[in-house]
A = this chain, B = another copy of it.
Amino acid sequence: LFFPCRPCCLEALLAEAAAPGEPARPCPCPLPRGDTSLSRLVRLLLSARRSLDLCIFSFSCPQLARAVHLLHRRGVRVRLVTDAQCMGLQGSQIGRLRQAGIQVRHDQHSGFMHHKFAIVDQRMLITGSLNWTIQAIQSNRENVLVVDDAECVKPFLDEFEKIWEEYNPAHYSF
């Protein structure tokens, strides 16, 4: 998937995922509904059935946050790692997701936790240059690669588990 992509309305997609089978109220917004890199990314995330492991440097896109929240409500185990410096910035969705009961861990280094990857059901890797921000999605040249080859996914699974353990709050020193 490549970005930037044009702004698009994801209401129908998110409503269908929230209440499958129920007729969605038509959204009155003037944005187009078509297929975009963002709608495809959201669809891939919403395909999670068991787990979603996220390592996202900067996360401020409300639509992606809604998709993640929805998976959590649906019972998918969501674990989210982010960067300590980014998570407090204006517009960050991390606080909202935490309030919703999603487990969040962050680094405590001066270096950045600069990954931007997601692993769906421990088998599909979604990774690239894209931070989960509206600026990145709508204005930047970005790429996202979707990989389900186990040999490629495994090192990212291992990296996630390593970081998840390293950023366990029990180890925080501040």
Contacts and interface: CB of A to CB of B under 8 A. Distances in A.
A9 to B, nearest CB: 21
- Sorting the interface of chain A by its residue count into under 10, 10 to 19, 20 to 34 or 35 or more gives 20 to 34
B135 A111 contact: yes
Nearest to A139: B111
Contacts of A117: 129, 143
Contacts of A164: none
A16 interface: no
A51 interface: no
Copies in the complex: 2
B115 A129 contact: yes
B141 A112 contact: yes
Given A145-B145, A159-B2, A112 B140 contact: yes
Query: Interface of chain A, helix or strand or loop or mixed?
Result: mixed
Contact of A111 (B109, B113, B141): B141
Contacts of A141: 55, 107, 111-115, 163
A111 B136 CA distance: 8
A121 interface: no
A39 interface: no
Nearest to A125: B145
A116 B129 CA distance: 7
Interface in A1-53: 2, 4
Nearest to A163: B141
